[in-house]
Amino acid sequence: MTKVCHVTSVHPPEDVRIFQKECVSLARAGYDVTLVQQGGDYEKDGVHILGFGDIAPNRFQRMLMTAWRAYRRALEADADVYHLHDPELLPYGLKLKKKGKKVIFDSHENTLESILQKEWIPAPLRKMVYHWFKAHQEGVCRQLNAVISVTPNIVEYFRSINSRTVQVANFPILPAKMPPLPEQSDRTLVFAGGISRQWNHHTIIKALEKLPDCEYLLCGIADTPYLQELQALPAWERVRYLGRVPHGEVAALLAQSTVGMAVVSYSRNSDWKNGTMGNTKIFEEMLAGLPVICTNFVLWQEFVDRYHCGICIDPENPGEIASAVQYLLDHPEEARQMGENGRRAIKEEFNWGVEEKKLLALYDALAAEGAPASLNSAQMSPPRGAICVILFLPLAVRAPRSLRKEAA
């Protein structure tokens, strides 16, 4: 039986993509699966969990110490295939390759492009860090056995580096029994996920000023400064903020709502207006049978128009958002049909069952190849400067003074 070890030093325990989708799918397919994550040791759904304890409290410690602790626990699994989920684990991918292991890197987002928007990196250094990390990432990934990513533009980039690059999108798992479609009886907009500026909650709340009979149901963990900014807006009184909601309870909240909101900003990570298939919110709302109001990304516009399951808008225009909401409220039968169409799109195309087949095909191909030979240091030499900058820049930027003295 092929032994597989997934490793994350950043994501929360039982992350939906990592644990509930990839690890559980592999276990059900007959692989011996271990997941290294924060927390303790236990077993669940056929997956062996190895915990490395609590995640480090700051970025420097996470990138150095937490990644090292995760790697050390991963070695205990003595797996045939290692599947790494975080950029700071890339150097350990090379260590594993030198030990004769097969290694996959799973790029959940466009880390390279997002560097240019990282506020914690001083602006004058961002381009330098970008180029150094680019050399590091490409130097490592071309030596790995495979790369996985979630959306076409990132897959295209990695395929130019490593020909064995596969798109495995983060689409929702189909439930055993579909819940009934929402009744469309109230006037509730809904969003469940991270409460951050990129999701334009401030713009949606401003749109509420033109929608006096609507409320905004907001679920998720928010950064305190941004939450305070939202609370200062005049229409905050019509926001029902629930904070963090367990993943298993989100579907019930979506079923009580009228319109799903997926108004994410254009950014480098989304390939600007081209868009990304890595954001799960829109697909979860479609699965719930809600008509969606979403960003007019090229990728999203294509399937929203094809299935007629929502309305695409400029994510920074509150007037356009308000008009789209009002249209759905004024045309309830069409809105209900949009919700049904969206659910059909998920059943036919945008679900984990489709993506699972791609994941298993990659693993089956790797298993059929047999064990690779161990490589020596001369064969594997990533750009050292890139590794040093990526690992030690946070030391200069964010680390406590005591740690800086210790490192010196």
Q: Would you kindly state where each structural domain of the chain is located, as residue ranges? A: 3-171+354-407, 188-350
Average pLDDT of the segment spanning 228-244: 96
Q: Which residues pair with 53 in a beta bridge?
A: 39
Q: Summarize pLDDT for 108-138 with one digit per residue, the tens.
A: 999 998 898 888 889 999 999 999 999 999 9
**What is the dotted CATH code of the domain comprising 3-171+354-407?**
3.40.50.2000
Higher per-residue confidence, 42 vs 386:
42
Q: How would you label 20-49 residue by residue, b for 16+ Cβ within 10 Å and e otherwise?
A: bbbbbbbbeeebbbbbbbbeeeeeeeebbb
SS3 296: coil
Centre a 10 Å sphere on the Cβ of residue 378 and count the other Cβ atoms it contains.
6
Strand 42-44 with 3-7, pairing: unpaired
* pLDDT the model gives residue 184: 61
Residue 401: partners with Cβ closer than 8 Å, 6 or more residues away: none
Residue 393 in this model has a pLDDT that exceeds 70 = no
Q: What pLDDT sits at residue 271?
A: 84
Band (pLDDT 50/70/90 cuts) for residue 268 is: confident
**Does the 188-350 domain belong in CATH 3.40.50.2000?**
yes
Summarised one tens digit per residue, pLDDT across range 329-388 is: 999 999 999 999 999 999 999 999 999 999 999 999 999 997 765 555 545 554 444 444
What's the pLDDT at 408?
A: 29
Give the pLDDT of residue 392. Answer: 42
Predicted TM-score (pTM) of the model is 0.88
Q: What is the mean pLDDT of the segment spanning 284-307?
A: 97
Length of the chain (residues): 408
For residue range 46-58, what is the model confidence (pLDDT) as tens digits?
Answer: 999 999 999 877 7
d(CA 51, CA 36): 6
Share of the chain above pLDDT 90, in %: 76
Over residues 169-177, the mean pLDDT reads 93
Percent of the chain at pLDDT above 70? 90
> Do 3-171+354-407 and 188-350 share a fold?
yes
Indicate the pLDDT class of residue 272, thresholds 50, 70 and 90: confident
H-type helices in 105-246, by residue range? 111-114, 126-141, 152-159, 201-208, 224-231
For residues 139-144, average pLDDT: 98
* Locus of tokens 């996985």: 148
- Give the separation between CA 24 and CA 360, rounded to whole angstroms: 11
* Alpha-carbon gap, residue 42 to 48, rounded angstroms: 6
d(CA 31, CA 99): 21
